[in-house]
Copies of this chain bind each other. A is one copy, B any other.
Amino acid sequence: MSDTPLPQGATIGILGGGQLGRMLSVAASRLGFKTHIFEPGAAPPAGQVAHRVTTALYEDDAALTAFAHGVDVITYEFENIPTSALDTLSALRPIRPGREALRVSQDRLTEKDFLSDLGLAVAPYADIPNAAALAAALGRIGTPAILKTRRFGYDGKGQARIMTPDEADAALADMAGAPAILEGFVDFTHEVSVIAARGLTGEVACFDPGQNVHEGGILRTTTVPADLTSAQRQDAVLLAGRILTALDYVGVMGVELFVTKAGLIVNEIAPRVHNSGHWTQNGCAIDQFEQHIRAVAGWPLGDGSRYADVVMENLIGADMDRVPALSQERDLALHLYGKAEVKPGRKMGHVNRIIRP
């Protein structure tokens, strides 16, 4: 049954109960699927709109097994799932996207090697097992540069900038002994991302690239259409297609790109729906969440056509105070995540502004 489209009423298991799992759950419901969320934390946002929730640790083999038996296919909202959990789950049900995508994207060094081997341009980088390697890499790559933990980094966490070589020791200390990678700075004009999808039968469909603005390491806005030439737009789609096909990927992937005078440079990939694709909820008949569900359910992909220009803005921490005013703006769609507690830097929701011609 794993290669035939999931029928109405089938259940999709989702690892992770945050806002991405929540929006995946809503999209699954539009296609007539039920969802079952697996999440260690209590009262996950996704649980408010899911058919079932399992609250258990990724180390709880019995809970994982019961979860797998209760679903038809398994997907996830985040890439840092422990390998032991994946071993248990993948023996029982298909996991989509597959393990190769997780293996590659869970480690920044592996990911950079993978992208380089595909012939794609990436920032200069070096494996940093120790201080000597860092000194050597800084000699080769120069400053400014950025030291990052190889694993478990997101939204600017686990990163240290090195503006001059004498900051090297402090940056390495910030890694707290974790394996690290040094990345050189790229002289880019702006960042865009491609939300790309690949179906079970190998077809690829990309949404229009969006242009991203970050603040403090966290995505602030995504604007479509992005400022790209027609050639750059095609390059972006073609390189995303190469990445997905090389991984025999099934699902939606976020591919972040730096736009430079010399061409597009791949910043990073995320094997899941992506914050920079939230605009699709109000610009396309089929959004990134439904596209992902279609792929993992073995359905045909939607074509990803865009019928409106959109600016997506994240609501972070105290931005929630703006909700009463935002709720009165014309052509503005609110998407709040139902998180109980507002914290600084916490993604609480986003808005999509429709831009009329």
Contacts and interface: CB of A to CB of B under 8 A. Distances in A.
Contact of A328 (B25, B300, B320): B300
Most-contacted residue by chain B among A5, A302, A320, A349 (CB, 10 A) = A302
Interface stretch (A90-98, A150-158, A251-259, A335-343): A335-343
A47 interface: yes
Interface stretch (A29-37, A60-68, A211-219): A29-37
5 contacts: A29-B49, A30-B333, A32-B336, A285-B354, A307-B354
A48 interface: yes
Contact of A333 (B49, B286, B334): B286
Interface core residue of A30, A294, A331 (most chain B CB under 10 Å): A30
Contact of A332 (B285, B320, B352): B285
B327 A294 contact: yes
Given A32-B336, A330-B303, A333-B285, A26 B49 contact: yes
A299 B327 contact: yes
B334 A30 contact: yes
Contacts of A324: 5, 300
Nearest to A351: B285
Nearest to A356: B307
A9 interface: yes
A327 B7 CA distance: 13
Interface in A4-39: 5, 8-9, 22, 25-26, 29-35
Interface residues on A, range: 35 or more
Contacts of A331: 285, 305, 307
A308 interface: yes
Contacts of A48: 29, 34-35, 51
A179 B334 CA distance: 46
A55 to B, nearest CB: 14
Copies in the complex: 2
The 5 A-B pairs at the shortest CB distance, nearest first, are namely A32-B336, A285-B333, A48-B51, A49-B49, A29-B49
Contacts of A333: 30, 285-286
B31 A334 contact: yes
Interface in A301-322: 302-303, 305, 307-308, 320
Contacts of A286: 333
A22 B25 CA distance: 13
Contacts of A340: 9
A282 interface: yes
A299 B349 CA distance: 17
